[in-house]
């Protein structure tokens, strides 16, 4: 259940792009909101080109102003300043799971640009890797956030079906349609061991990929039927190609308002070498992205609607 949202803010207008999303979700989910600022040890003078919050007192006043101006009086909004300086802000955010009792983090994505962002991960991606809770990533500038279409990529792995659970909760609260997506690689887009097998056994690999299309179609059709029987508006499709690219393409084609994706939270060079789909989608997708740490949610039951 998504009943308590944590919104980390660093004082910049860039980070505040997450606020309208948090406000909308608080409305439809009847959720509490906690605003948080982490005092950074030896902070830079500026953050995203703006003056950095220099003291706990300044941060407290800033969060109080945001609470009163950005959220209607019907919300239960609290704020907290972590006054003990930390070296690693993402770890500091993740450690607040026990302190505030939130179950979803709403966060604007920003971090190192270019290759550095991909290799080392933005603050948002590090929060996913360090924590155990879902993280909703918003890229500025963000369009008005209203849930009408939720895209849920699935690959048949039970660990990844936690994303469908979350999508069902959000669709039930908003009336959004759920669109399930299966992506089967082509010979040209196979990676890792699949690519090696394709090189050694191209004929057999091609046949297996064709069989995978039928299996994925049947799997998604069964999930779609279950969703419709439970009262959801739902549809599904199977496409071929690079999973990350096709997820981003589908989000654009559907004009999706949210992509829900399970991730194993790999980071740094491990993510580069693993070819993490979630990491690549983070870098390419402008649609808000809800990431659920799949490996840490392995006990979750598949959604039945």
pLDDT tens-digit readout, 122-152:
566 667 666 678 889 888 766 789 999 999 9
Q: Which position has the token pair 């039970």?
A: 158
As a whole number, the mean pLDDT across the chain is: 76
Give yes or no for a contact between 44 and 52, defined as CB atoms under 8 angstroms apart. Answer: yes
DSSP letters along 115-159, please?
A: HHHHHH--HHHHHHHH-SS-EEEEPSSPPP---SEEEEE--S-GG
List the chain pLDDT tens, one digit each, 305 residues: 789 999 988 888 888 889 999 999 999 999 999 998 887 776 666 666 666 677 889 889 999 999 988 887 656 889 888 777 666 666 667 666 666 678 899 988 764 333 333 333 456 666 766 667 888 988 876 678 999 999 999 887 777 788 899 999 999 999 999 999 988 877 555 554 444 343 333 434 444 555 478 888 898 999 999 999 999 999 999 998 888 999 999 999 999 999 998 876 555 434 433 447 777 888 888 899 998 876 544 444 444 44
Structure tokens at 56: 């706990």
Cα distances from 159 to residues 2, 163, 262, in angstroms, run: 19, 9, 8
State pTM to two decimals: 0.81
Q: All domains of the chain, ordered by start, with CATH?
A: 4-138 (3.40.50.620), 149-287 (3.40.50.620)
Element (H, E) at 108: strand 104-108
| Structure confidence at residue 200 (pLDDT) | 38
Distance CA 194, CA 185 (A): 10
- At a CB cut-off of 8 Å and minimum separation 6, what does 176 contact? 147, 148, 149, 150, 170, 233, 257, 258
| Structure confidence at residue 130 (pLDDT) | 66
Give yes or no for a contact between 59 and 66, defined as CB atoms under 8 angstroms apart. Answer: no
DSSP letters along 188-236, please?
A: GG--HHHHHHHHH-HHHHHHHHHHHHHHHHHHHHHHHHHHHHTT--EEE
pLDDT tens-digit readout, 271-296:
433 447 777 888 888 899 998 876 54
Q: What is the dihedral of CA 289, 292, 295, 297, to 10 degrees?
A: -170
Distance CA 261, CA 272 (A): 18
| Structure confidence at residue 181 (pLDDT) | 94
**Which of these, 230, 267, 239, lies nearest to 153 by C-alpha position?**
239
């Amino acid at each position: 259940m998504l009943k308590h949202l944590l919104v980390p803010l660093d004082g910049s207008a860039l980070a505040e792009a997450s606020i309208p999303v948090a406000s909308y979700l608080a409305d439809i989910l009847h959720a509490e909101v906690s605003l948080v600022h982490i005092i950074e040890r030896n902070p830079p003078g500026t953050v995203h080109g703006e003056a950095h919050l220099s003291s706990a007192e300044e941060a407290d006043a800033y969060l109080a102003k945001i609470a009163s101006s950005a959220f209607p009086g019907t919300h239960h909004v609290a704020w907290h300043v972590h006054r003990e300086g930390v070296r690693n802000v993402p770890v500091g955010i993740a450690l607040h799971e026990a302190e505030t009792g939130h179950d979803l983090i709403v966060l604007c994505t920003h971090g190192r640009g270019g290759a550095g962002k991909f290799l080392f991960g933005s603050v948002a991606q590090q929060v996913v890797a360090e924590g155990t809770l879902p993280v909703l990533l918003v890229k500025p500038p963000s369009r008005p956030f209203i849930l009408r279409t939720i895209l849920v990529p699935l690959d048949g792995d039970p660990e990844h079906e936690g994303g469908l659970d979350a999508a069902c909760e959000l669709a039930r609260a908003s009336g959004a349609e759920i669109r399930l997506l299966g992506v089967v690689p082509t010979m040209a887009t196979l990676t890792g061991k699949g690519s090696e097998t394709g090189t050694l056994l191209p004929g057999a690999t091609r046949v297996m990929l064709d069989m995978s299309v039928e299996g994925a179609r049947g799997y998604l059709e069964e999930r779609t039927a279950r969703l419709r029987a439970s009262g959801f508006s739902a549809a599904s499709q199977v496409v071929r190609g690079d999973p990350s690219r096709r997820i981003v393409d589908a989000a654009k084609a559907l004009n999706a308002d949210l992509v829900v994706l399970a991730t194993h939270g790999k980071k740094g060079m491990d993510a580069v070498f693993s070819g993490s789909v979630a990491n690549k989608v983070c870098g390419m997708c402008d649609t808000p992205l809800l990431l659920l740490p799949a490996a840490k949610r392995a006990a979750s039951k598949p959604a039945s609607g």
